[in-house]
């Protein structure tokens, strides 16, 4: 973007504007685009979810406003804007006002590090992945503020549940993403996506494979287990249905949102849907190659860049469009999975949620990190690292090494999954027996 603005202002118009003006304008354009995209996404996503869930429940869903109800989100928006803003009399007014802002603003920041296509990223932070989750954890503070400031039991309960859930599921989410940092050798999301070129085998593992943009991390046993763990943790972080305990409408009205109306409520709603979209997008980025796909690498090679001054700028645009298309297609697929899960599963109890997170997901992700380390050792190490035994399999980045790594990590991960699943089932059976005999009141997750 910087180059384009620089070219337009200084070369074409001859304004000779200083560096920081170009920087400011280019960033403003990017930020403006993202801020327009995000709410439009959400409008579309709410409609999409309502229609899909209606299909699963054998209903029609919104179909009156516009063609097949396509304008329903706009009608909803108008309704939200014109609603009366009610603040409870005993509420803490300032905190009540601040809470939706503190919840929604960090979510918008998360767009900053999301790569949309080749070279299409607002800021390519070297710590992008960590930034993504650090910023998302600020939303938690907003939830607590909302719950507390409303001065309502249901709101406070909802906030407590939300925080207990988000804080404990952040751990498996981050632990399961660690493997991608190890594989790519960087926390920059762009580097993680670029490491996923290839054809079912990443080009960083075996450089000689053809680059069709299909070397997604999910095709390795390590990546697959991490994907399953991360997606479950993401459901819990986005408060999606199997884990929508914080706003369980049959128990605590609407949780922390109970005392909010009008635009403040809409902000919570917006924040939640953007967060869900972003969690799907980050799943696509880290496990499914983000903008990588057949054809993107070829288009990038044809395009104009510093390395390739003979390229055609049309290919830059085409590469960007194809990359964005791949990313959005993957993201919407995951969003559909989220919606389908909402239609298919009942809500968990909070103690079940905690048990599942701490006793199953966290140990599993830790074992997965061990597998990831083994993977790296087998595919890339040699005598230099004191690992000369493995050199019989050939050069680092050899296909044989890749196969060995695949087999070893597959065995470890399947064994870990099987063992932990059995352990948890046994625990569950013992618990149920104890409950049936009346020896034990519900399991003791007192921290919850």
The answer to whether 196 and 289 have CB atoms below 8 angstroms apart is: yes
Q: Which CB, 35 or 345, lies closer to another protein?
A: 345
Closest CA to 291 of 213, 195, 204: 213
Q: Which CB, 9 or 448, lies closer to another protein?
A: 448
Q: Which CB, 309 or 444, lies closer to another protein?
A: 444
Kindly give, in sequence order, each residue whose CB lies less than 8 Å from that of residue 179, ignoring residues fewer than 6 positions away: 217, 222, 223, 226, 368, 369, 371, 372
Go through the chain and tell me how many residues it has: 448
* Least Cβ distance, residue 28 to another protein (angstroms): 17
Binding site for another protein (CB under 8 A): 20, 92, 95, 125-127, 130-131, 133-135, 137-138, 140-141, 144-145, 148, 156-157, 160-161, 163, 167, 170, 187, 221, 224-225, 228-229, 232, 242, 345-352, 355-356, 360, 410, 413-414, 417, 420-421, 424-425, 427-428, 430-431, 434-435, 437-448
* Least Cβ distance, residue 293 to another protein (angstroms): 24
* Least Cβ distance, residue 223 to another protein (angstroms): 12
Q: Which CB, 145 or 209, lies closer to another protein?
A: 145
Q: Which CB, 379 or 409, lies closer to another protein?
A: 409
* Least Cβ distance, residue 446 to another protein (angstroms): 6
Q: Which CB, 26 or 368, lies closer to another protein?
A: 368
Question: To 10 degrees, the CA torsion angle through 243, 413, 372, 165?
Answer: 10
Specify the residue for token string 């990359």: 323
Cα 170 to its chain centre, rounded Å, is 11
The string over 290-320, giving b where at least 16 C-beta atoms fall within 10 Å of a residue's C-beta and e elsewhere, is: bbbbeebbebbebbebeeeeebeeebbebbb
Element (H, E) at 174: helix 153-184
Q: Which CB, 54 or 410, lies closer to another protein?
A: 410
* Least Cβ distance, residue 368 to another protein (angstroms): 10
* Least Cβ distance, residue 302 to another protein (angstroms): 31
Helices 362-380 and 399-437, packing angle to 10 deg: 170
What is the token pair recorded at 150? 């409303």
* Least Cβ distance, residue 127 to another protein (angstroms): 5
What is the token pair recorded at 417? 């999954």
What is the token pair recorded at 166? 């988000």
């Amino acid at each position: 973007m910087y180059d384009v603005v620089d070219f337009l202002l200084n070369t074409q118009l001859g304004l000779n504007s200083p560096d920081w003006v170009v920087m400011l304008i280019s960033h403003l354009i990017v930020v403006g685009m993202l801020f327009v995209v995000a709410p439009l996404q959400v409008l579309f996503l709410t409609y999409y979810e309502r229609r899909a869930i209606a299909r699963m429940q054998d209903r029609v869903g919104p179909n009156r406003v516009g063609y097949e109800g396509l304008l329903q989100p706009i009608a909803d928006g108008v309704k939200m804007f014109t609603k009366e803003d009610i603040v409870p009399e005993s509420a803490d007014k300032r905190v009540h006002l601040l809470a939706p802002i503190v919840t929604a603003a960090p979510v918008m920041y998360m767009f900053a590090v999301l790569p949309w296509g080749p070279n299409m990223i607002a800021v390519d932070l070297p710590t992008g992945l960590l930034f993504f989750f650090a910023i998302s954890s600020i939303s938690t503070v907003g939830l607590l503020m909302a719950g507390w400031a409303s001065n309502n039991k249901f709101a406070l309960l909802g906030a407590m549940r939300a925080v207990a859930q988000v804080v404990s599921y952040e751990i498996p989410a981050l632990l399961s993403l660690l493997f991608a940092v190890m594989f790519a050798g960087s926390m920059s999301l762009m580097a993680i996506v670029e490491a996923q070129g290839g054809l079912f085998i990443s080009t960083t593992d075996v450089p000689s494979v053809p680059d069709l943009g299909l070397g997604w991390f999910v095709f390795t046993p390590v990546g697959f287990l991490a994907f399953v763990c991360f997606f479950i943790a993401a459901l819990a972080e986005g408060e999606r249905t199997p884990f929508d305990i914080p706003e369980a409408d049959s128990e605590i009205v609407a949780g922390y949102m109970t005392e909010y109306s009008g635009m403040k409520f809409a902000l919570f709603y917006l924040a939640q849907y953007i967060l869900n979209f972003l969690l799907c997008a980050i799943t696509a980025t880290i496990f499914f190659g983000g903008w990588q796909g057949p054809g993107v690498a070829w288009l990038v090679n044809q395009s104009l860049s510093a390395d390739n001054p003979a390229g055609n700028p049309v290919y830059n645009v085409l590469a960007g469009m194809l990359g964005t298309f791949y990313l959005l297609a993957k993201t919407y697929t995951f969003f559909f999975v989220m919606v389908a899960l909402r239609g298919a599963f009942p809500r968990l109890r909070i103690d079940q949620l905690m048990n599942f997170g701490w006793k199953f997901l966290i140990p599993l992700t830790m074992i997965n990190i061990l597998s990831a380390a083994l993977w790296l050792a087998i595919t890339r190490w040699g005598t230099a690292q004191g690992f000369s035994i493995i050199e019989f399999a050939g050069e680092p980045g050899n296909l044989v090494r890749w196969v060995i790594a695949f087999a070893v990590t597959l065995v470890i991960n399947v064994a870990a999954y099987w063992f932990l699943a059995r352990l948890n089932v046994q625990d569950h059976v013992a618990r149920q027996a104890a409950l049936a005999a009346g020896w034990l009141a519900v399991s003791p997750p007192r921290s919850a």
